[in-house]
């Protein structure tokens, strides 16, 4: 009997450990080389790890939520087992350490092509939870990729209506659902707790009259080709922000706690807080100071979509120097966003609504939007924070100045 021990791989950028999110196999299963083995989480993303060899699973070491060091034993395979059933393959990590004959390799490759399913880890996880076989789902994305909408369509079709049961009154409910905090959600929880515990936050809220900005946005959208993605407020706000930061470099900075040094960055790498099926992620628009409005809008859409679909790289999920967070229509009146450490400032965007305002002694309808921003009080004084937001407000209320340097 030949056995092969698979150890935790380095999933990129020198990670020293990873968290087991979910096993795709169980002990006794027979898998193909490159077949799906498990999902592991780094600080940046959930990664699907394929099997390095074909064979029978003898032992799985660790369970969901366990954090295991790179190089630790993870799976033990019996490699002289005849592989009788194909597995859904994913992109290989590293090289397979066990050789196979050319005929067997060719047959395995043919089976892989025939059974390949393209979907993000989040979509695969949702399908498993719902008991849906993704090989039976038709993908409408590029190359037949199965997206959230494809899966939801199948789930909707398989859900039969439940007849209402008349009751004399509300019925008491019992039971408690336990949800283990693992993967990206665990990382989010740890970072949020650390940020609130170590950073003395203070928030500053200011209302902005975006009536003229809305007129500019509507005009720009009217010039777009039919079917093109329209402009939102976000690229306009980012364009104004990068100019304002020229006069407030203390807000475009990192705090290096180990060296007790504040690093003021000249480039502006804007983090865009994005809600995903796995929780909040912050993909980064790099060198926002050098992008046109059209390029800013396109890049914000690209990195946000990559984060939502699980395709964002580790490099795209780190390195921001200041973060912008917006809940769009759910933005509320005001908020107190948590700083994305090691940054020292975060700009929160609330929803824009029409309100009666007094202008020149007359009550008129204006479109108003609040900016709710938080700062690290150790390195950003209240006066400087207020002055920065006021400068941002000035540009947004007079959009002709958005691209003017300080």
Answer whether 246's CB lies under 8 Å from 406's CB.
yes
Tokens of 273: 């807080």
* CA–CA gap between residue 37 and residue 248 (Å, rounded): 49
201 is catalytic: no
269 is catalytic: no
Distance of CA 144 to the CA centre of its chain: 22
* CA–CA gap between residue 246 and residue 266 (Å, rounded): 8
Tokens of 157: 């079709």
Helix axes 382-397, 211-222, angle to 10 degrees: 50
**What count of other Cβ atoms lies within 10 Å of the Cβ of residue 168?**
5
**What count of other Cβ atoms lies within 10 Å of the Cβ of residue 205?**
15
Pick the closest to residue 368 from 184, 233, 183, 179 (CA basis). 233
Pick the catalytic residue: 201, 265, 377, 398? 377
Residue 249: strand, helix, or coil: helix
Residue 192: strand, helix, or coil: helix
Residues designated catalytic: 377, 381
């Amino acid at each position: 009997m030949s056995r092969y021990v698979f150890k935790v791989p380095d999933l990129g950028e020198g990670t020293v450990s990873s968290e087991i999110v979910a096993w795709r196999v169980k002990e006794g299963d027979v898998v193909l080389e490159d077949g799906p083995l498990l999902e592991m989480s780094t600080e940046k993303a959930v990664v699907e790890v394929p099997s390095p060899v074909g064979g029978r699973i003898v032992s799985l070491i660790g369970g969901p939520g366990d954090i295991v060091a790179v190089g630790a034993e993870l799976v033990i395979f019996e490699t002289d087992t005849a592989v009788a059933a194909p597995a859904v393959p994913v992109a290989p990590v590293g090289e397979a350490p066990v050789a196979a004959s050319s005929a067997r390799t060719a047959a395995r490759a043919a089976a892989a092509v025939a059974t390949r399913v393209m979907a993000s880890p989040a979509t695969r996880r949702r399908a498993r939870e719902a008991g849906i076989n993704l090989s039976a789902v038709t993908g409408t994305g590029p190359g037949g990729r199965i997206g959230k909408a494809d899966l939801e369509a199948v789930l909707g079709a398989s859900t039969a209506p439940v007849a209402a049961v008349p009751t004399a009154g509300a019925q008491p409910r019992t039971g408690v659902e336990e949800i283990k905090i693992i993967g990206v959600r665990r990382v989010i929880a740890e970072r949020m707790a650390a940020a609130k515990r170590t950073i003395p936050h203070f928030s500053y809220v200011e209302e902005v009259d975006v009536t003229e900005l809305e007129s500019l946005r509507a005009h720009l959208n009217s010039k777009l080709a039919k079917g093109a993605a329209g402009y939102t407020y976000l690229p306009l706000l980012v364009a104004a922000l990068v100019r304002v930061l020229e006069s407030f470099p203390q807000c475009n900075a990192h705090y290096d706690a180990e060296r007790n040094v504040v690093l003021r960055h000249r480039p502006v790498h804007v983090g865009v807080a994005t809600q995903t099926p796995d929780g909040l992620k912050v993909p980064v628009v790099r060198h926002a100071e050098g992008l046109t409005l059209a390029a800013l809008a396109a890049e914000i859409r690209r990195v946000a979509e990559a984060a939502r679909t699980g395709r964002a790289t580790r490099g795209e999920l780190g390195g921001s120097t200041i973060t912008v967070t917006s809940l769009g229509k759910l933005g509320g009146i005001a908020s107190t966003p948590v700083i994305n450490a090691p940054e020292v400032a975060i700009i929160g965007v609330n929803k824009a609504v029409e309100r009666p305002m007094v202008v020149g002694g007359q009550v008129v309808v204006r479109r108003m939007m609040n900016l709710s921003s938080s700062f690290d009080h150790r390195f950003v004084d209240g006066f400087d924070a207020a002055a920065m937001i006021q400068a941002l407000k000035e540009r947004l209320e007079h959009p002709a100045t958005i691209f003017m340097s300080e």
